[in-house]
């Protein structure tokens, strides 16, 4: 049975269920359950639910050691940018140990962080920096865009035997949606078709999925039938689903909140250019954040970000209908 | 260059009477420590030669001069105790029980290597023998070891975690974060610092004003002490005392071992930044020469036994090299399957 709950509640529900299901799951981070009255502390005790100091390198490095010793830690990092101070552990230790050890060890851990909080939080708490992680062999990166996926991908991340960067979108945490009750797992690496269509493929991630769906609704009024695909994870990336869609529509627009040259969009564009070129009837169009630090000023913040109008405009361009509408 | 690298027994003064007490060493323990140290020394001297002839390639860091720390610490550990090491890990691996032939095959990049040839000298892992992670980034192993110790705490297990690092790691942030958390959460972790006074190519004085690593951790209030790394008996005794406590869940502890890095930072390092030691000076800093002299003096071994230990270590190295040569590299298909756990 599904019922409507917010995205953030879905994330927490998954953590609670996984901790109940598997006693090797531990959860810690800055400001996690500071009170002993916290339901997680009540349920699982202070051994498994810990407050850590502001020490990202130690927090993440300890998760690696815990994982090597048979635990499944979830580290609360709050903001994706806070992982930057611990990049050696995130990108150079956790994901490489299995391979460098010739497969002797596994490193199951979840790095949980929010991202993309473009709501006046200025230049250092708003980034969509997922390709910094997605480019690292050995890491997995998931970007849930719905409450149901927020739950199902957290469960999958905890159960995965690899390090997973779990990025929840801070502009979506209060969004409500249908979420299945009980244990619910969304396999990592399977894209979701959010809206089927025949004329153009729009691939969007995280917060831009909603923007792409709004654009698709507007375009429907113009007789344009857009298909919206949400990859849900960037590593692994479900290229077969995207290529199948492009084969059908012949047109591709990529919406991404990341800056253009560090976007998932640019990676997908390269893959389609190499593997789906013969399907394309027009050049690929990228609708990303501009290559700038996210500004504090509200109009400037909106200026650098993609939105539904920019996405719709890009669709009109690739379909050659831009001038007719303008 | 040749005179800078560790030479054999010829440099050790046989007749010098050591004032060092036997440090509680039993004859069989001394024999085991000597055997371990000779295995490491002979292995690394061969690695240097193989590196020169390109049979071992890439970046290789030797630990000649600090075998006493590896032996004094690791020979007291169980297989299920975890050791986290760094880029200078050959000695720790061999002393912890990693089979020499598979360590050599790893350095030669072969599929029979510990890590199937994918890790190499800086990333030795032997999970079966508790060598859990050797990392190439100075200090990167420190928080991992703390996490491993937390696992023991959560399980209520008596296993102990040991992390080796150099004094160069102490000026890095991950050292302070790890020490703070290990102290805060009272983890059964033993920090073993091999303080050779050199951080890569520059002396300690260029890196910090703090005299010792033990001073750096003083405010955290856990037990710490400095021993001479060349005195393997002292290393063994001091570490053993911490190990006994850590088995009961106590910790952390710091054992700072002053050592001399006989070789360069990496193999091929011209070492223009320092003068070569006089032979007599090196003999004082060579843990093998010192224990051998002590053992002969106490009559635990005779000269013939000492020569036999070296010859046996050399023979084992020969077999290990042959083992490596006989093993093919991993195929691309086999390696591709190891990027992710499925």
Condensed to tens digits (0 to 9), the pLDDT of residues B189-205 reads: 999 999 987 767 777 88
Q: Which residues of A touch B103 (CB under 8 A)?
A: none
CATH number at residue A101: 3.40.50.970
Active site residue A169: no
A161 and A277 housed in the same domain: no
Q: Does A272 touch chain B (CB under 8 A)?
A: no
Q: Which pLDDT belongs to residue B23?
A: 60
* CB-CB under 8 Å, B184 with A140: no
When divided into structural domains, chain B yields a total of: 1
Q: Which residues of B touch A138 (CB under 8 A)?
A: 339-340
Contacts of B105 (CB under 8 A, 6+ apart): B111, B112, B113, B114, B117, B320, B323, B324, B327
* CB-CB under 8 Å, B147 with A104: no
Which residues constitute the domain of residue A160? 2-180
A124 and A37 housed in the same domain: yes
Using CB atoms and an 8 Å cut-off, which of residues 235-274 of chain B contact chain A? none
Give how far B252 is from chain A: nearest CA, Å.
15
Residue B256, pLDDT > 70, answer yes
A169 and A243 housed in the same domain: no
Percentage of residues of chain B with pLDDT beyond 90: 75
A162 and A218 housed in the same domain: no
Once rounded to an integer, what is the mean pLDDT over residues B116-127?
A: 95
Q: Which pLDDT belongs to residue A93?
A: 96
Going by pLDDT thresholds of 50, 70 and 90, the confidence category of residue A54 is very high
Give how far A168 is from chain B: nearest CA, Å.
23
Once rounded to an integer, what is the mean pLDDT over residues A132-157?
A: 98
B134-148 confidence digits (pLDDT tens): 889 999 999 999 999
- Out of A6-15, B9-18, B246-255, least confident range: B9-18
Is residue B165 within 8 A of residue B137, CB to CB? The reply is no
A202-245 confidence digits (pLDDT tens): 999 999 999 999 999 999 999 999 999 999 999 999 999 999 99
Average pLDDT, chain B: 90
When divided into structural domains, chain A yields a total of: 2
CATH number at residue A212: 3.40.50.920
Residue B333, pLDDT > 50, answer yes
Domain boundary residue, one of A119, A151, A180: A180
Is residue A314 within 8 A of residue A284, CB to CB? The reply is no
Once rounded to an integer, what is the mean pLDDT over residues A288-296?
A: 96
Chain B residue with minimal CA distance to A63? B147
Provide the 3-class DSSP secondary structure of residue A289: strand
Using CB atoms and an 8 Å cut-off, which of residues 166-185 of chain B contact chain A? 173-174, 177-178, 180-181, 184
Q: Choose between B151 and B195: higher pLDDT.
A: B151
Percentage of residues of chain B with pLDDT beyond 70: 92
Q: Does A68 touch chain B (CB under 8 A)?
A: yes
Domain boundary residue, one of A119, A146, A180: A180
Residue B8, pLDDT > 80, answer no
Is residue B68 within 8 A of residue B229, CB to CB? The reply is yes
Once rounded to an integer, what is the mean pLDDT over residues B154-165?
A: 97
Distances (CA, A) of B274 to B4, B45, B66, B176, B259: 11, 21, 18, 29, 16
């Amino acid at each position: 049975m599904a019922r409507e709950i917010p995205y953030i509640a879905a994330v927490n529900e998954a953590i609670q269920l996984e901790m109940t299901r598997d006693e090797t799951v531990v959860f810690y981070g800055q400001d996690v359950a500071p009170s002993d009255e916290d339901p997680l502390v009540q349920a699982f005790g202070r051994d498994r639910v810990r407050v850590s100091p502001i020490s990202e390198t130690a927090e993440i490095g300890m998760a690696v050691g815990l994982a090597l010793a048979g635990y499944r830690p979830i580290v609360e990092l709050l903001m994706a940018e806070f992982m930057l101070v611990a990049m050696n552990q995130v990108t150079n230790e956790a994901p490489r140990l299995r391979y460098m050890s010739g497969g002797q060890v596994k490193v199951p851990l979840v790095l949980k962080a929010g991202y993309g909080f473009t709501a006046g939080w200025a230049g250092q708490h708003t980034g969509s920096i997922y390709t910094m992680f997605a480019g690292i062999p050995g890491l997995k990166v998931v970007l849930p865009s719905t409450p149901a996926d927020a739950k199902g991908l957290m469960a999958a991340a905890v159960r995965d035997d690899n390090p997973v960067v779990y990025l929840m979108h801070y502009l979506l945490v209060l969004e409500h949606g249908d979420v299945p009750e009980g244990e619910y797992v969304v396999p990592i690496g399977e894209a979701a078709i959010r809206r089927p269509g025949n004329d153009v493929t729009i691939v969007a991630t995280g917060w831009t999925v909603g923007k792409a769906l709004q654009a698709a609704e507007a375009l429907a009024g113009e007789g344009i039938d857009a298909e919206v695909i949400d990859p849900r994870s960037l590593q692994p990336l479900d290229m077969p689903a995207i290529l199948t869609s492009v084969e059908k529509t012949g047109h591709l627009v990529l919406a991404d909140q990341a800056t253009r040259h560090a976007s998932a969009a640019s990676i997908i564009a390269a893959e389609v250019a190499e593997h789906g070129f013969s399907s394309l009837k027009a050049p690929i169009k990228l609708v990303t954040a501009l290559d700038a630090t996210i500004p504090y000023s509200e109009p400037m913040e909106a200026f650098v970000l993609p939105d539904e109008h920019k996405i719709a405009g890009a669709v009109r361009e690739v379909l050659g209908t831009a001038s007719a509408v303008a | 260059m040749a005179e800078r690298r560790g030479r054999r027994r010829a440099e050790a003064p046989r007749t010098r009477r050591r004032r060092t007490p036997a440090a509680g060493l039993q004859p069989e323990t001394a024999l085991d420590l000597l055997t371990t140290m000779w295995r490491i020394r002979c292995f690394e001297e061969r690695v240097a030669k193989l590196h020169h002839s390109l049979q071992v390639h890439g970046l290789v860091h030797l630990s000649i001069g600090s075998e006493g720390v590896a032996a004094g610490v690791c020979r007291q550990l169980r297989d299920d105790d975890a050791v986290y090491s760094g880029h200078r890990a050959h000695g720790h691996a061999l002393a912890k029980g990693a089979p020499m032939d598979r360590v050599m095959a790893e350095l030669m990049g072969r599929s029979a290597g510990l890590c199937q040839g994918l890790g190499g000298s800086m990333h030795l892992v032997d999970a079966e023998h508790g060598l859990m992670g050797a990392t190439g980034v100075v200090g990167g192993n420190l928080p991992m070891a703390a996490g491993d110790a937390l696992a023991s705490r959560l399980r209520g297990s008596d296993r102990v975690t040991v992390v080796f690092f150099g004094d160069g790691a102490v000026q890095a942030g991950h050292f302070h974060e790890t020490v703070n958390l290990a102290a805060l959460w009272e983890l059964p972790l033993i920090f073993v610092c091999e303080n050779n006074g050199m951080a890569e190519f520059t002396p300690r004085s260029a890196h910090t004003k703090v005299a010792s690593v033990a001073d750096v951790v003083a405010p955290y209030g856990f037990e710490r002490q400095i021993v001479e790394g060349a005195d393997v008996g002292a290393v063994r005794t001091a570490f053993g005392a911490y190990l006994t406590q850590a088995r009961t869940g106590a910790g952390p502890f710091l054992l700072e071992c002053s050592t001399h890095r006989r070789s360069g930072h990496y193999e091929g390092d011209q070492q223009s930044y320092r003068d070569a030691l006089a032979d007599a000076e090196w003999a004082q800093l060579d843990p093998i020469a010192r224990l051998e002299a002590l053992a002969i003096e106490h009559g635990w071994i005779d000269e013939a036994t000492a020569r036999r230990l070296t010859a046996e270590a050399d023979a084992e190295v020969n077999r290990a090299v042959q083992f490596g040569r006989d093993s093919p590299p991993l195929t691309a298909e086999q390696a591709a399957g190891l990027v992710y756990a499925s």
